[in-house]
Amino acid sequence: MSGIPEWLEPYLRQGAYNPTQEDISNLEPQSRQEMLLKFASLTGASELSNYYTKQEVDNLISTIPKFSIEVVSQLPTRDISETTVYLVPSQSEEDDVYKEYIYVNNDWELLGIQKVDLNNYYDKSEINSLLSSKVSNSTLTNDYYNKNSINSLLANKADKVTIETGHPSIILTNRSDGGSATNPTYTITYRYGHYKRIDNICFITFAIRAEITNAGTGYATLGGLPYTAMDDAGDQALAVQDISGALIDPEDGTSTLKQGVNVAILDYTKQINLNHKNGMMAFKWGVGTVYVCCTGFYFINA
């Protein structure tokens, strides 16, 4: 017998050897088949025609019809499926009872009666009643924020406020007194400044000391504010901590500063005017040492 070891053939002929699964697994596929056939003949199972192969079993299973279920208002008269169980509402029964039909040998066969329990389901009228009591659109509009409203509020929340800090570089300047203005010539001997912006408000403090060698022409002003002042604010004022030295009072031409000084930020500029407290006259720079120190806050053009 080809493919079967010689040592195994005597045992198979005498029926003295019952091969184990391991013995069979160690053989080549062709030898394994011959060995099983030989063993079958010794054990009286040689009539293999009485057995189905795996493929034959699979083919038989595939021919078994697969039934489906379909609910219809009445039995169909065309496109009838012989593998469908048709459920037709019973006209003589109550509580959702269906009759089960199947089409066999060109005729309808009643299989039985099926009752469908719909106790745990809403009917159409119950659903309509529930929908009528839902929250209305007007309630949502008046009592709730929509997506766009929430996004708008979040965009303007606290951490979106502009906060900036820095050090201003205050300088001496002149503005026109009716004619042309020229800035003074000076040397800065001391300058300090700090500001903090919170949204559209700027808190600022500064001090400057300078040696003026040429007063220039025009009225005395200060420049170098970090932000442009708000328009139509009416010239916002800063508090004066100290102003002394070469600042000429136009009333008597001296630097005595008899009337005191009003420090006002001109609308929509970065310019500080130095005026009398009565607001009727403005100071001019003199020659010599001048010291200006102010603090306060102003609204900026944001």
Range among 114-118, 209-213, 236-240, 249-253 with highest mean pLDDT value = 209-213
Among 97-111, 171-185, 283-297, which is the least confidently predicted range? 97-111
User: DSSP code of 57?
Assistant: H
Read off the pLDDT of residues 244-297 as tens digits, 9 standing for 90 and up. Answer: 888 887 777 776 565 578 888 988 999 999 887 666 678 899 999 999 999 999
Q: Are 279 and 259 in contact (CB under 8 A)?
A: no
Contact residues for 69 (Cβ-Cβ < 8 A; gap 6+): 84, 85, 87
C-alpha to C-alpha distance for 177 and 215, rounded to whole angstroms: 14
Radius of gyration over alpha carbons of the chain, in Å? 53
Torsion (CA) 262, 222, 220, 201 in degrees, nearest 10: -30
Three-point CA angle 231, 233, 239, nearest 5°:
125
Query: Which of 238, 231, 234, 232 has the alpha carbon at shortest distance from 261?
Result: 238
C-alpha to C-alpha distance for 194 and 172, rounded to whole angstroms: 17
pLDDT at 37 over 90: no
Stretch 89-106: mean pLDDT, rounded? 79
